[in-house]
Amino acid sequence: MPIIEMHLMEGRSVEQKRAVAEAVAEAVTRTLGVGPEQVRLLITEHGSEEFSVGGVTAGRKQELAVMQAATSAKKS
């Protein structure tokens, strides 16, 4: 029984999560030769302050991008 964990940033629609669940189940069924009823997918959503790369949270990265865009716009 394959168990797959997927971590996503918050904001995906129910339809998107259902579509990815179906696609993952199809791929695992096809490649591992198991029935779709055996495939488990755990989706965990994270807020922008619960995910970081290189010590910078996704929320802070967004803030920095906005500040940089504003600075660039002022120079133009």
Q: Is 36 a catalytic residue?
A: no
Which two three-digit tokens encode residue 11?
Answer: 């904001």
The Cα 5–Cα 45 span in angstroms is: 11
Nearby residues of 53 by Cβ (< 8 Å), 6 or more positions away: 61
Q: Which residue has the tokens 């600075």?
A: 71
Q: Which one of 2, 29, 34, 50 is the catalytic residue?
A: 2
Q: Which structure tokens are listed for 22?
A: 């179906």
- Which residues belong to the active site? 2
